[in-house]
Structure 1
Amino acid sequence: MEFITTDLLWSLLTIIFIDLILAGDNAIVIGMAARQLPAEQQKKAIFWGTAGAISIRLVSSLIVIWLLQIPALMMTGGVLLIWIAYKLLTDKKDHNTIASHTSLSAAVRTIVIADGVMGIDNVMAVAGVAHGDLVLVATGILITIPLIIWGSTAFIRIVDRYPIVVYAGGAILAWTAGGMIAGDSLIAKYIPLLTQLKWIFSLTIVAAVLGAAILNKRHTVNAQSHIDNDQTIRGEHQA
């Protein structure tokens, strides 16, 4: 199969990994939205909700890929992706705000809307990796969605046990962001050196994002430690 090149295979694997990293918790949303339905309707809610989510994801990807062809928007998307990578490494996601429903239509609607909102970062990252190849995007989505639905629990356990997987995802997003910024037509026109040194620039972005995330984590741990110490001291005084 000569049309399957190393670059194409690498891009597809990267898209699948990004999909899993950014959308691995979407199955939790699906489960929470459908958990109060009767057992026979839960499967229908998951099926139709997933079908709607895939459709929206494909349309969104098409729109984003088209927009990224406009000068400066590729660079803007890269900057946004840097923020997404940082938030991935520092945010604690809370799914408690996802409402469950007792009607099939309401559950499906919640699944589709939630996935659409949560999938914005996913679409942006995948579009950056695909370099305008909608077939590649669609293949990645069609492969990943079943994995998200039926294998997300196992993947989430892996992420919880091996946090380095999340850092690998953040690094890939930051690397993609660097490539998007350096590959923008305006950058190529006015700062050609940055385009020529794209690898170095991307590595710098990766180092900056990972470094900022690690510093944020240390600051959070230290702040929590001070809070715990203050509470212990107050408890001792009250005793």
Structure 2
Amino acid sequence: MQIVFVNVLLGGDNAIAIAMACRSLPPRQQRLGILLGTTLGILLRIVLIGVIGKLLAIPFMHVIAAALLIWIGTQLVRPAADEPSVNPSAALWRAVMAIVWADLAMSLDNALATAAVAQPLPEGSRLVIVFVGLAIGAPVIAFGSRLILTLLDRVPSLVYIGAALLGWIAGELLMADPSVSAALYEWMAQVPGVSPAVTGALTCFAAAVLVPLLGRMAAGGARAG
């Protein structure tokens, strides 16, 4: 139940990414995209849990994940009308791959929290219990994706809010890197009254503004082209 709770609590950003990636697909493929994206997300998280220690040991891993998430968020802002004509199958797999890359970037905290919960479990049953916990929480993420997708269909401009949320998460990933956060704290310490908490909030806010802005500029450039 702890694994289910962690998965659902930290899965909201994944639901946003799934909905944004699938919004330009036909209704039938939207359902398939949500199913494939959620399933592959579970498998990816299981793999990440097994290698999370080695993964976080890579220098600037959080910065790499943040840059990846900013790029994905920028791409997901582009309206369907600006997309080049591709066959439905290619469009589906492109959406699924966008979901997988977004999951990879955003699942560091999820995998770390799940690994911490699963650590006291017997080694032989640990993987099975983790898989069951993630699988139980998956329908909630899939339902959340479908709900967000319905909102995006009715109010397309909400895609910019989704992009801003992905940008905010990218900012949090940046602040999770010790080198980056230390450099930002030292730089902002020169401004009177700016605490580390304010520095973190400003970084997240800047990333939240940057992603939809870059997406808007990319869409405008594609339309002009």
Same fold (TM over 0.5): yes
- Structure with more contact order per residue of length (Cα contacts < 8 Å, sep ≥ 6): 2
SS in 2 for 1:81: helix
- Give 1:88 shift: 5.8
SS in 1 for 2:53: coil
Task: Count the aligned residue pairs.
Answer: 185
Tell which structure's C-alpha radius of gyration is larger.
1
Residue 12 of structure 1 is aligned with which of 8, 29, 47? 8
**Contact 1:89–1:170 at 8 Å: present in 2 too?**
yes
SS in 2 for 1:111: helix
- Give 1:50 shift: 4.6
Residue 96 of structure 2 is aligned with which of 102, 111, 115? 115
**Contact 2:40–2:100 at 8 Å: present in 1 too?**
no
**Contact 1:19–1:144 at 8 Å: present in 2 too?**
yes
C-alpha change, 1:99 and 1:160, in structure 2 (3 Å) is same
C-alpha change, 1:58 and 1:30, in structure 2 (3 Å) is farther
**Which residue number in structure 1 is paired with residue 86 of structure 2?**
99
Output the CA distance in 1 between the equivalents of 2:156 and 2:32.
28
SS in 2 for 1:70: helix
What is the identity, as a one-letter code, of the residue corresponding to 1:208? T
SS in 1 for 2:54: coil
C-alpha change, 1:170 and 1:213, in structure 2 (3 Å) is closer
What is the identity, as a one-letter code, of the residue corresponding to 1:12? V
Are 1:144 and 2:141 matched, yes or no? yes
Output the CA distance in 2 between the equivalents of 1:29 and 1:121.
17
Gaps of 5+ in 2: 115-129, 186-194, 221-225
Identity, in percent, stands at 10
After TM superposition, the score normalised by the length of structure 1 is 0.54
Are 1:26 and 2:21 matched, yes or no? yes
Partner deviation per Cα, 1:143-177 (whole Å, 9 max, x = no partner): 22233246403146557259555434422342245
Output the CA distance in 2 between the equivalents of 1:47 and 1:161.
20
Q: Hey, which bits of structure 1, 4+ residues long, moved more than 6 A? A: 200-203
**Which residue number in structure 1 is paired with residue 164 of structure 2?**
167
Output the CA distance in 1 between the equivalents of 2:5 and 2:67.
27
C-alpha change, 1:173 and 1:111, in structure 2 (3 Å) is same
Output the CA distance in 2 between the equivalents of 1:111 and 1:25.
13
C-alpha change, 1:20 and 1:132, in structure 2 (3 Å) is same
